[in-house]
Amino acid sequence: MRIALTRGVSPSIEQCELTHLSRQEIDVNRARYQHAQYENLLIDLGCKVRRLPEEPKLPDSVFVEDTAVVLDDAAVITRPGAVLRRNETRSVAEVLKEYRTIYQITDPGTLDGGDVLRIGRTLFVGNSVRSNITGIKQLMEIVAPYGYDVEVVKVEGCLHLKSAVSLVGEETLLINRSWVDANSFTARDFIDIDPGEPYAANALLVGNELVYPQSFPLTRRRLESKGIRVRVVDVSELQKAEGALTCCSLIFDIGI
């Protein structure tokens, strides 16, 4: 069984943390509708959606990916780089402890789940504005006994590693080379985003299906030209909060 852990859109989402985007008005009702469509697509792709209730006082809390890194046997609860997001982790940990052994990133380490890209038994971790070297070293120590390697990747110009690169096939990465060095990912196939769509590198691979934002049609054509089947969803209101597809869920498998 595949679980997709999500959380409802906070009514205070307009007060979200922003680093690289200018603040825009967010239609909360439209954001909720788009998020529900996203959840419906995950269900259609075989996930059992487990939705946490919205958090009125936590504007960014819909972006649950940043609160944890879920591996096959363990879950690492993060310590988000944005101080005001640290209260988001408690409720996520309560759910994840039903499925995994729980570990915790501690002060002075910071780590956002959006900076962690898993490819096989390697975790590529972005050293970004939200994830520091201390937090990455803590993650390395936690996951080593489970057989995972950690590679540090420098990120510049965007919020998280997965803003710049994401997995779109077993050995294929979608990448914005302006924000991350492709040489950090040796011996892998790459699809470059369209240069007119700098935020287009974030996609969500669910099994063999790729979920992709409606906002980036030029990059979508590049994906489809490579034979990748794309399932499109509109998340334009959530993108105003510097969110992306991977941000909105924690997806993991459990035994039947």
The active-site residue out of 16, 47, 247, 248 is 247
Which tens digit of pLDDT belongs to each residue from 156-175?
999 999 999 999 998 899 99
- What are the residue ranges spanned by the domains of the chain? 2-253
The active-site residue out of 16, 158, 160, 248 is 160
Whether 247 sits among the annotated catalytic residues: the reply is yes
Which amino acid would we find at residue 144?
A
Q: Domain 2-253 maps to which CATH number in 3.40.50.720, 2.40.30.20, 3.30.1600.10, 3.75.10.10? A: 3.75.10.10
Band (pLDDT 50/70/90 cuts) for residue 187 is low
Distance CA 204, CA 39 (A): 12
Sign (positive or negative) of CA dihedral 57, 9, 69, 114: negative
Whether 20 sits among the annotated catalytic residues: the reply is no
Nearest Cα neighbor of 212 from 199, 241, 2 is: 199
Residue pair 115/155 in contact (Cβ under 8 Å)? The answer is: yes
Sheet (strand 189-192) strand order: 165-169, 172-175, 189-192
Strand, helix or coil for residue 13: helix
Distance CA 245, CA 78 (A): 19
Which tens digit of pLDDT belongs to each residue from 49-87?
999 999 999 999 999 999 999 999 999 999 999 999 999
